[in-house]
Amino acid sequence: MKTSVVILNWNGRKLLEQFLPAVLQHTVDHETEVVIADNGSSDDSLNFLRTHFPQVPLIVLDKNYGFAEGYNRALQQVDAEYVVLLNSDVETTGNWLSIVINYLDEHPGVSAVQPKILAQKNKKYFEYAGACGGFIDRFGYPFCRGRILENVEQDQGQYDAIIPVFWATGACLCIRRKDYFEVGGLDARFFAHMEEIDLCWRLNARGKKIECLPQSVVYHVGAASLAKENPRKTYLNFRNNLFMLYKNTPARSLFFVFIVRLILDALAYFHLLVRGKFSNAKSVIEAHKDFFKMRPGFRHDRRENLKNRVVDDIPTKFNGSILWNCYIKGKKTYGRIIQN
């Protein structure tokens, strides 16, 4: 099989009913399969799939391993040159996959790509978690072409150029299976959130290329598993961002980056308190406590990542501060911040 599109499902029966038919319509051919990996669902997802989509292969995991380990286990059970990590809340369009696969065939130096991701509920706008390709700044804050912090742009074709990006969203990530496992796959300790950025950082550091192909378009609902303001999501985002920085930041800048992040995260904590979001504020403290408690378990990963890197300064990493540009300079779009 050339391509396996793997949808990781957890209690997503309604999403499968809504979006799986379009995926099958736009995807299946003699070189492509769509596979559902069930992450220990407790709803009737499996019965629904076996009744209404008996032709779709199932990988049944014994419990919820989270996004990261769920995909690691699922991708070990498929045999394809290319694998696509596709969220169950993604609406595909015609030729979305053929554009991606043809591009990878023609560009062997590119390891992973993502399509343009638009919001499924308002299709004129980019979607928060991916938009038109992802980047990070020097302090680990992610942003996208089409989304800076909370500011999401309308798609007017302004980002339709194919460009290298720092990270591709896990909502719809097409990657060479060999490269995925060669750099270690997703880090299971993350459970969910930031794991695809960590994976892409390792790819970049080892000289692999990641690109966004805006000619391929999908629509993403987003926050289907955890609501955006959920304290659990706040905890995972803060904790995993610290893990990612510790695993991948070069020694020459690690101390400075962490000092600045401690200050910025303290400001975020007080900002959440002022807004009355006490559970989210507590999550920031818990994230830092658990990071420092768990950090010794990541020392080996840090040594391996730094030893295997062949690129010292990743070109797609933004060396400035997104917070400074957005809140101090008032630049709230990718086009204003990144001039070239």
Residue 340 has pLDDT above 60, yes or no: no
Token output for 199: 């994976």
Token output for 232: 């659990």
Tell me the three state secondary structure of residue 119: strand
Q: What is the pLDDT of residue 222?
A: 82
Q: Where are the beta strands (DSSP E) in 40-168?
A: 58-61, 82-86, 90-91, 110-119, 134-136, 142-144, 147-148, 151-152, 163-164
- Percentage of the chain with pLDDT > 90? 94
Question: Tell me: the pLDDT tens digits for 85-97?
Answer: 999 999 999 999 9
Please state, as a whole number, how many other Cβ atoms lie within 10 Å of the Cβ of residue 285: 14
What are the structural domain ranges in the chain? 3-220, 231-309
Q: Average pLDDT for residues 250-271, to the nearest whole number? A: 96
Question: Tell me: the pLDDT tens digits for 121-173?
Answer: 999 999 998 999 999 999 999 999 999 999 999 999 999 999 999 999 999 99
Residue 297 pLDDT level (bands cut at 50, 70, 90):
very high
User: Is there a contact between 41 and 11 (Cβ–Cβ < 8 Å)?
Assistant: yes
Tell me the three state secondary structure of residue 294: helix
The CATH number given to 3-220 is 3.90.550.10
Residue 226 has pLDDT above 80, yes or no: no
User: Is there a contact between 99 and 157 (Cβ–Cβ < 8 Å)?
Assistant: no
Residue 251 has pLDDT above 90, yes or no: yes
Report the distance separating Cα 122 and Cα 47, nearest Å: 31
Q: What is the pLDDT of residue 29?
A: 82
Whole-model pTM above 0.75? yes
Question: Tell me: the pLDDT tens digits for 26-75?
Answer: 987 889 999 999 999 999 999 999 999 999 999 999 999 999 999 999 99
